[in-house]
Amino acid sequence: MISREPTIERLAIAKALLLTPFGLNESHLSRALGEIKAHKVDEADLYFQYTRSEGWSLEEGIVKTGSFSIDQGVGVRAVSGEKTAFAYSDDISNASLLDAARTVRAISSAATGAKTRMPSRKVASSRSLYPDLDPISTLDSTTKVELLGKVEKLARGRDPRVVQVMAGLASEYDVVLVARADGTMAADVRPLVRLSVTVIAEQKGRREVGSAGGGGRFGLAYFDDAMIARYVDEAVKAALTNLESRPAPAGEMTVVLGPGWPGILLHEAIGHGLEGDFNRKGSSAFSGKVGQRVAAKGVTVLDDGTISDRRGSLNVDDEGNTSQRNVLIEDGILKAYIQDAMNARLMGVAPTGNGRRESYAHVPMPRMTNTYMLAGDKEPQEIVASIKRGLYATNFGGGQVDITSGKFVFSASEAYWVENGKVLYPVKGATIVGNGPDALTRVTMIGNDMKLDSGVGTCGKEGQSVPVGVGQPTLRIDGLTVGGTA
């Protein structure tokens, strides 16, 4: 059997799903792009997408819901200066393409006055970070139901205080094809799976919740017995810990963040502020600060879309640009912003492989992939032992941030009160309040235990959601405000 180079193979898969069944070929795409380029526009592209998704959920000991859907369509975009014209359709046809192309080109009233000659076709370079498989077909339906039943049985068997178990299994097969007016064609085949576990524990009339889970860009076989047991143990431990929690103290104090998922604070409070659109418009607290110190020494923050099998990784972004490992902050100095094509052009820099969109029905914008802080040289135990009076937060729930001011508020779903270096008891109701740029300058200790999250992150921006990853080592931050219940 002769195998094709992965980039060419993905392009063939995308054409077979998104062009051939609808009587389309590359000449039809060139004609549609030529219609747009008949007017003076800076950029134009076509974004085809086919998505097949499946979900199963268990509650009260039975699989209560199952869902399956297929969505496909094309988005057509023209960009002139800062303005974007966009049209989309779930009808993939030559007529729809030409109609959308003639609609979006109206963003520029100036016609070129000459017959448009399209550039020769070129295939965009891409990475090979995950398999080109359909994860839905990697387990049959019976096995998927049995997997969820195993979660239920394990969780209830861990402790008699576990009174309710909920679990969900989701799979997605996403194929995209990008054709740009500069002649570039790119494609990606993106598998994505996730298993989530939530338990409710009860003791003396008090109920608490614990959650865990993970996933990434691979097949469902990833969720073997050992991985299922790990998620169950984490969820049960969180719920039982919260049963023993006391009201959280409030005030300004030292806060130590655990490794892994607590990097969501870094993502929200700092990562969004480094996205190109906010900085081009001058609305970010980091605007105009490239080359300046914005964090304590030792703080290095990356956005990296090139990590194998990760939830936030991409072979190519949604504009056909190769994903990259971007150093945003290096040893406390701001180095760069996250860019899509339009904002990069307007700011006079190169795209960074961060043009992302939720679907063919959305326009791309600069978005994070896997955002994390590099490790330092401190032992985690040493960092916790350094707390005189403060909070040790190991897991987070929701949060929000104001991009312009950098102010953030996050709720800790698992946290502990520490005095004189000793972890005394778990606390409930702790919210961490601060300012992203200011918090970066207050980092005083960085652990040697950098860890990425388990593969559960979804980022929302301007109504669009995309899968992302976060990570960090154990961090000590001085002088944060903790809002508590005590």
Contacts of residue 1, defined as CB under 8 A and 6 or more positions apart, other chains included, come to none
Window from 117-121, 152-156, 379-383, 454-458 with minimum mean pLDDT:
117-121
pLDDT value of position 116: 65
For residue 267, the 8-state DSSP code is I
Percent of the chain scoring above 90 in pLDDT:
89
Q: Which residues face 356 on adjacent strands?
A: 365
Taking the C-alpha atoms of residue 170 and residue 369, their distance in angstroms, rounded to an integer, is: 20
Taking the C-alpha atoms of residue 383 and residue 43, their distance in angstroms, rounded to an integer, is: 50
pLDDT digits (tens, 9 = 90+) for 58-113: 998 999 899 999 999 999 999 999 999 999 999 999 999 999 999 999 998 777 66
pLDDT value of position 404: 84
pLDDT value of position 108: 84
Q: Is the pLDDT higher at 265 or at 390?
A: 390
**232 touches 224 (CB < 8 A):** no
Contacts of residue 115, defined as CB under 8 A and 6 or more positions apart, other chains included, come to none
Taking the C-alpha atoms of residue 323 and residue 306, their distance in angstroms, rounded to an integer, is: 6
Percent of the chain scoring above 70 in pLDDT:
98
Tokens standing for residue 391? 């909070």
**309 touches 217 (CB < 8 A):** yes
Question: If we measure between CA atoms, which residue out of 66, 112, 72 comes closest to residue 92?
Answer: 72
pLDDT digits (tens, 9 = 90+) for 348-366: 999 999 999 999 999 999 9
**318 touches 364 (CB < 8 A):** yes
Question: If we measure between CA atoms, which residue out of 61, 285, 297, 50 comes closest to residue 157?
Answer: 61
How many helices, marked H, and strands, marked E, lie in the chain? 10, 24
Global pTM? Answer: 0.95
Contacts of residue 175, defined as CB under 8 A and 6 or more positions apart, other chains included, come to 13, 14, 17, 18, 49, 50, 51, 187, 188, 189, 190
Please give the average per-residue pLDDT across 208-229, as a whole number. 97
Question: If we measure between CA atoms, which residue out of 364, 335, 333 comes closest to residue 349?
Answer: 335
Tokens standing for residue 47? 């974004």
Distance of CA 415 to the CA centre of its chain: 24
Q: Is 185 helix (H, G, I), strand (E, B) or coil?
A: strand
Tokens standing for residue 467? 């899968």
Does the pLDDT at position 115 exceed 70?
no
**428 touches 337 (CB < 8 A):** no
Q: Is 252 helix (H, G, I), strand (E, B) or coil?
A: strand
pLDDT value of position 1: 46
Phi-psi region of 373 (alpha: psi -120 to 50; beta: other; left: phi over 0): beta
pLDDT value of position 3: 62
Please give the average per-residue pLDDT across 369-382, as a whole number. 98
